Structure 1
Amino acid sequence: MVIPVHDVNPVRRTPVVTYALIAANVLVFLYTPGLAGSVAGDSSLSQLCHLQAFLDHYAAVPQELIHHQLPRLVPTGEVGPGGRGCVVGPPGYDKSPFVSVFTAMFLHGGWLHLLGNMLFLLIFGNNVEDRMGHVRFALFYAVCGYAASYGFAFLNADSGDPLIGASGAIAGVLGAYLVLYPKARVWVLVPFLIFLPLRLPAWLVLGFWFALQAVYSSGEGVSDAGTVAYAAHIVGFLVGMLLAWPLKAGTTPPPEPRGLLFGRKARPRHTW
């Protein structure tokens, strides 16, 4: 797996929507009940019960999205007598499965989940927003997130596990970037004994990422395939490519990179 750290692709305007999305995701994470102690490694039963109740309320659940049936008993956030699990009871709230897809896009299960998503959004979201404009990018982001969630739900219609994270929407951003800027150079860290910095074309970085999602979604090469919605990543990526395709013809290519390339000095090019 390669870790992107920067792309050589300047923008013409400040990506305010991208920054706002990152800020919103971080703030929601910091105020998510049960995750306050995750930095210090504290995961008490009380915290887990609060988190479970919060996710049941605000996360998207495939079973609810497809069948439009809410469970009769949900976690209340309280610890059972003698510390034996979490208490369940009738829900004390009304939940809209459709709206839960939106709220779920701002929820994350841990710091690694959050920071990984925000890193990809920061690197690739600014250029896609620059090309689409602020309003269209915000709508594009939401459409990709909804498509990814419902796509995953249709493939897992009987699943009662909560679906959280911005990965589906961000996968759409990656798909759009691949269509609009396939030749843009991206600085990545490649783990090989040490982290090697390389500057690779976006089509290689994002194409490799998509191939990994396809492999992982089949359950091959990863032990936690059941806990990560790789199918949502695939759907979001493909929808992002499709929506960005009409903009490809009028997109100005990124500037030709100069300086170091693959750790060596790039040769000067001459025009005749």
Structure 2
Amino acid sequence: MTHSDFTARKKQAADWFHTLRDTIVARFEALEDSTEADAPAGRFEVTPTQRDEGRGGGGIMSVMRGGRLFEKVGVNWSEVHGTLGERAQKAMAARGVPGMADDPRFWASGISLVAHMQNPHVPAVHMNTRMFWTPNAWWFGGGADLNPCLEYPEDTAHFHGEMQRACDAHDAGYYDRFKAWADEYFYVPHRGRARGVGGIFYDDLNTGDWKADFAFTKAVGEAFLPAFAPLCESRRATPWTEADRDAQLVHRGLYAEYNLVYDRGTKFGLETGHDANAVLMSLPPLAKWT
């Protein structure tokens, strides 16, 4: 594939991730409006982000704090490029990315979302989709996982059902494969437990058919709102106790530990000089450790 072909495809992917960001932000603000509470409906604060001086690209950080439904939610979009540092090159080479020593240039774009909710009965959630390019390789990655502090089996089943529907439309083996990957990836070794009830996770997806892999990645992004929004609508009016809030804060501590110690995206964002506030927007506004 020629350089000009990939220039067009990178723009196509970046534009779509931006559109997905806009769609989710609008839906979340609509959920805020329809949530009954004495407080004003929350709105996203939108801030452009830039990488460190001398490094290319940036993005849009969109964060809502203190809403009726969302205590804190971030929906970030980015498009970055430049040269990978030595640590990032070694990490990529260890994953089998060819040519890192010869040409460490890269380009990446994607959307990253984390929502922490006011009502402990509404689950926290994470979603991201992305495309990564180097002169010698390209791939897609992403997924979504549910993180309730008070689990409802029917909510877990609904969320996984939507993820499976997105997978099955593209490859009958994707859901089982990517569910197992999520179970392994979103595991907190030092606590001996998962950080939530899973979902799907995939990375380094390159079947050789760019259009098919991009179509699957779009399907994952488009499955997110049908998977998550109904859970917000069904649980947001559930009465909760101080014990419920305590369980929520303790679970957020687990979430923070995972993201700071193990999360691949957090490490990559900080090591490649992206805006630290945007990289760390996944952290909850309040947490507790027993």
TM-score calculated relative to the size of structure 2: 0.23
**Hey, which of these two has a bigger chunk of strand by percent?**
2
**Hey, which of these two has a bigger chunk of helix by percent?**
1
TM-score calculated relative to the size of structure 1: 0.24
Larger radius of gyration: 1
**Larger relative CO (CA 8 A, sep 6+): 1 or 2?**
1
